[in-house]
Amino acid sequence: MKIVRLTLFILHIGIAFLLLGMLLNAYVPPKLFPWFNLLSLGFPVLIITYVLLTIFWIISWKKRAILFAVLGLAFINPVTRWINYNAENNEKSDLKIVSFNTKNGLVLGKKKIKEYIVSQNADIVLLQEDIGEGYDFDGLKETSIDALTATFSKYKIIDHKALIKSDFETNNAYANQTDIEIKGKIYRIINVYLQPFKFEKNMVKLNGNNEENEQKVKGVVRRLIPTFKKHQEQVGVIQEALKNSPYPVILAGDLNSVPNSYEYYHLSKGLKDAFVVVGRGSATSFHDYKFPLRIDYVFSSESIKPVSYKVDRSVRLSDHYPVVATFQLEK
């Protein structure tokens, strides 16, 4: 039994170091050291194992349980970015936003997506990975469309420009900004779709062949690392747009990055994560793999108060669930 406990103790320490390493994503960019960003992908498994081992030490009446429990407090905020239990907010909202990676309507078609969007009666709709053409949403008269990011608004669009254009197609924008006049005040809406990893299920699904699995893991890492570095460049462009904005900002979209990643820390800096503030339950938004992945977000400036946040699991129109958020605007 002593050997088992020693093994579990070493494992627990190792997991603690990995989790602490993940927190360094707030400071260490992928181009300098990408492996911290890789750890963010495994956060659900790491934290669950950490908690189970802590419970084991408590049941075993070991003093080390106190150490691991106290250290575990450092991971409370990282956990709330995945799972949260805020009280229900019944305040009145001024603005409703739907952010949705529609996968170009390839799952159930654009007609079903249009029906869903219209049923939401949102003020602003942000689509990613969708050309947006062919949509005619009732009540959403103002549009600004790039090939990868499309913004629809009930309110008047004052200005629009692409922030990050594709290296291959000039009409593709991985991020755009749209200035919208709402009730006499201008707000900047940034619609983001960071560089995708372009994985297929068969590329990440392991089987009983160890040699084949090893090659798959190496292949995944070979795709992850360069994309992390590309994200760093894209995040820098968006950060500059945030810093120079003369208006309150709402940033939303598909970051192709999980919470506690470099992308999350640096894009959310100075902004409020609507899920952390008012969300309830799980924030997992990508459902194509049997693994919890939150990669869709809605952030807002301090002056814009989140009222509600929902990952709408009632529909499966894409490999992403739509994200619906409401806000109170400053008076």
Structure tokens at 152: 């629809």
DSSP-assigned beta bridge partners for residue 84: 281
pLDDT at site 205: 54
**Residue 304: exposure state from Cβ atoms within 10 A (0-12, 13-18, ≥19):** buried
260, 37 contact by CB (below 8 A): no
In order of 192, 206, 315, the CA distances from 36 in angstroms are: 23, 23, 34
Low-confidence ranges of the chain (pLDDT < 50): none
Domain extents in the chain: 2-80, 86-328
| Tokens 């990975």, residue located | 129
Give the per-residue pLDDT at 177.
Answer: 94
Q: What is the pTM of this model?
A: 0.91
- Which segments of the chain does DSSP mark as H helices, in order? 2-23, 35-41, 43-59, 64-72, 76-80, 110-120, 201-204, 210-243, 262-267, 274-278
**61 — alpha (psi -120 to 50), left (phi > 0) or beta?**
left
Q: Which CATH number fits domain 86-328: 3.40.50.150, 3.40.50.11540, 2.30.110.10, 3.60.10.10?
A: 3.60.10.10
**Which DSSP letter does residue 256 get?**
S
